[in-house]
Amino acid sequence: MQYNEKMLKHFYNPHNQGSIKNADTVGQAGNPICGDIMKIYLKIDKNIIKNIKFETMGCAAAIAASSVLTDLAKGKTIQKAALISKDDIIKEFGAVPEVKVHCSLLATEALKEAINNYQKK
């Protein structure tokens, strides 16, 4: 399996990795088949994602997808961030190995859960 240069760049130097103490909301998604687990932390102010961090236990593609997701969501309203799709993440990379497309979906699912949890408060 071949990862492209942009995926490897996000894997080796992920953006927004870590947790947020006193986050406004947290979302998590996992895939029991591959074992990847992603956790997304959000700090929201006036409906805008001011800070976003992730903790991902998984393969290079899962970590890279989490990194790209945080870049795409930061600064957006929660409504616009909820519209980010796996295709948006794949587009950022240019291409993703077919067997790793689910990693992009997991990242968006974790974000959507975080937003849903926030809206339920």
pLDDT along the chain (121 residues), means of 10: 90 97 97 90 98 95 95 98 95 88 88 97 81
Q: Positive or negative CA dihedral for 59, 69, 13, 94? A: positive
Selecting among 34, 48, 60, 101, the annotated active-site residue is 34
Over its C-alpha atoms, the chain yields an Rg (Å, rounded) of 13
Which conformational region is residue 22 in: left (phi greater than 0), alpha (psi within -120 to 50 degrees), or beta? left
Does the domain at 5-120 match CATH 3.90.1010.10? Answer given as yes
103 catalytic per annotation: yes
Say which DSSP state 36 is in. Answer: -
H-only helix segments in 1-121: 5-12, 60-73, 78-82, 86-93, 101-120
Task: Give yes or no for a contact between 26 and 53, defined as CB atoms under 8 angstroms apart.
Answer: no
| pLDDT at position 113 | 97
| Threshold 0.85, pTM exceeds | yes
**What are the sequence ranges of the domains in the chain?**
5-120
Q: Is the distance from CB of 111 to CB of 84 less than 8 angstroms? A: yes
Annotated catalytic residue: which of 23, 103, 106, 115?
103
